């Protein structure tokens, strides 16, 4: 017991200081891009594996898988930055250039309802499972979402919000709807990752092509998968954490 106590003392406090300070991001992190539509080339559009770049040179971050191919072939038109504040309250706000999502006001009703406690039920509705893995990281001591009153719960009956990952495969659609219907209302839906927002790489398979064709979505968190910092910043904005 004493040994364990001493080891704990030696380790000290390991939880990161985000959101008091900006998160520490890896060198290869690709955040919200800077896009100059008039300079975006046809090749950049053609090379995009998910057709995220429109004819007028704008990128839909709800589709983007952040592979960086477009920026490689068209550096003068597209440049990925370290901006991690990408979660948005509407799909339209994921278009770049466009409104800066972190400027949007959060939902005061949700803050009033949840107070200092926010319970999330997560449903994996297809996809590759990387979104779930990176969300699970938020439960480790490095991120410790419990300090914000956020907790993952096993039962939808205890949940304030439903976090959906994956494109909503046909086989998961009924289970997702049942989970949502079992939640006390009002409840909130978070689409986590390109698959959940738009179907991502699976949009042409036997899927619903994203959550919003099945359930109303309150928060869209882009990425493939979203980095834990992207997800946590979006969650804190959703619950108007202060
Ligand atoms: S980074 Fe996004 S927009 Fe660019 S090619 Fe990859 S998926 Fe398409
Ligand atoms: S968005 Fe990317 S990481 Fe997440 S489930 Fe889909 S393919 Fe996997």
Q: CB within 6 Å of ligand 2 — which residues?
A: 65, 127-128, 130-131, 165-166, 193-195, 200-201, 224-225
Q: Which ligand is nearest to the CA of 224?
A: 2
**Contact by Cβ (8 Å): 83, 31:** yes
Ligand 1 atom nearest residue 78's Cα:
4
Query: What pTM value is reported for the model?
Result: 0.94
pLDDT for 165-174, tens place per residue?
Answer: 999 999 999 9
Does the 108-238 domain belong in CATH 3.40.50.12280?
yes
- Alpha-carbon span 145 to 106, nearest angstrom: 19
pLDDT for the residue numbered 101: 81
Q: Best mutation site among 129, 168, 193, 207 for ligand 2, i.e. most ligand atoms within 8 A of its Cβ?
A: 193
Q: Does residue 66's CB lie within 6 angstroms of at least one atom of ligand 1?
A: yes
**Contact by Cβ (8 Å): 57, 38:** yes
* Closest CA to ligand 1's atom 6: 67
Q: Which helix (H) or strand (E) holds 175?
A: helix 170-182
What are the residue ranges of helices labelled H in 2-51?
Answer: 2-11, 42-47
Regions of the chain where pLDDT drops below 70: 242
- Alpha-carbon span 30 to 82, nearest angstrom: 6
Percent of the chain's residues with pLDDT above 90:
81
- Alpha-carbon span 135 to 141, nearest angstrom: 13
pLDDT for 81-100, tens place per residue?
Answer: 999 999 999 999 999 999 88
């Amino acid at each position: 017991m004493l040994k364990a106590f001493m080891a704990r003392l030696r380790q000290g406090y390991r939880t990161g200081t985000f959101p008091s300070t900006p998160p520490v991001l890896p060198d290869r992190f690709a955040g919200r891009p800077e896009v100059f539509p008039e300079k975006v080339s046809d090749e950049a559009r053609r090379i995009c594996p998910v057709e995220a770049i429109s004819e007028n040179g704008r990128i839909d971050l709800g589709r983007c898988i952040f592979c960086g191919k477009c920026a490689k072939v068209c550096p003068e038109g597209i440049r990925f930055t370290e901006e991690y504040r990408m979660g948005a309250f509407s799909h339209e706000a994921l278009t770049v250039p466009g409104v800066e999502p972190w400027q949007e006001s959060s939902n005061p009703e949700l803050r009033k309802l949840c107070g200092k406690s926010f319970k999330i039920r997560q449903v994996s509705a297809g996809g590759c499972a990387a979104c779930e893995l990176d969300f699970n990281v938020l439960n480790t001591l490095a991120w410790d979402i419990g300090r914000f009153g956020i907790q993952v719960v096993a039962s939808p009956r205890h949940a304030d919000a439903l976090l959906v990952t994956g494109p909503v495969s046909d086989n998961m659609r009924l289970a997702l709807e049942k989970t949502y219907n079992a939640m006390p209302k009002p409840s909130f839906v978070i689409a986590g990752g390109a698959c959940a927002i738009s179907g991502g790489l699976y949009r042409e398979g036997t899927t619903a092509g994203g959550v919003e064709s099945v359930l109303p979505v309150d928060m869209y968190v882009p990425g493939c998968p979203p980095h834990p910092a992207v997800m946590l910043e979006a969650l804190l904005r959703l619950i108007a954490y202060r």
